[in-house]
Amino acid sequence: MRYRLDFTKRRLTHLFCLALLCAAPVFSDESAAVVAQEHDQPIRAKRRLGFGFYFLGPDGIYGGWLNYYILPMIAIEAGGTYYAVRDPSAVTHVGLRWYFGTKRQAGEWQPYVGAFFQRSVKINDNTGHPNIDFYFPLGLESVSIDGLTLAIEIALDMYMLAYGLPWGGIKIGYHF
C-alpha cells in the first residue's frame, strides 16, 4: 500500500500555521526572559551537590566532604576521615556554611562563615566516649562554571585552640 503525499495550498497553509505555533515560544520575549533569568542565577543555584577533599580543615590533616546548597547562600556539609597513625581514630563533622555578599557568578570568590559540630572516636578506646568539638571557619570559595570547587579558610577549632594553635584548611572538589 502506498501513501500519496498531497501538498495542496490548503495543507501547506495548515503546516505553516502549525510550524508558527510551535516556534512562537522560541522567539517570544518570555522565553528570552527565562533564558536570561537562568543565566543570572548564581552558580550555587545551578550546581547544588558537591563532594571533594580537605587538606587540614575540620577533620584534621585530611578528610572528605559532601555538601548541598539548600539555598544559594546556605550550604549543609558533612564529612569525615580515618587516621591509622599511632592511635587509630575516626573523625566526622556536620554543619552549615553561610555565604554573604552579593550572589556571585561562576568563578568569583565568595566569602563565607560556618559552624560545624565535630565528633572523633578512638578505635582502640573501649570507653566509648567520643570527643566533641566545634569548628568555625571563615573563608573564600570559588565554584567554576564546570563545577570545580576551591576554598581557602582560616578557622577557630576548639581542639586546636586548647593547644594555642591557629587552624584552617584548603578544600578541593566538584559540584554537580
Q: What is the pTM of this model?
A: 0.72
How many structural domains are present in the chain? 2
Is the same domain home to 121 and 63? yes
Is the same domain home to 142 and 95? yes
Answer yes or no: is 3 within a domain. no
Q: Note down the domain range covering 35.
A: 9-40
Answer yes or no: is 1 within a domain. no
pLDDT in tens, 63-103: 999 999 999 899 999 999 987 666 778 899 999 999 987 66
Answer yes or no: is 93 within a domain. yes
Is the same domain home to 74 and 135? yes
CB 161 within 8 A of CB 143: no
pLDDT in tens, 96-142: 999 987 666 777 899 999 999 999 887 776 666 788 889 999 999 99
Is the same domain home to 89 and 155? yes
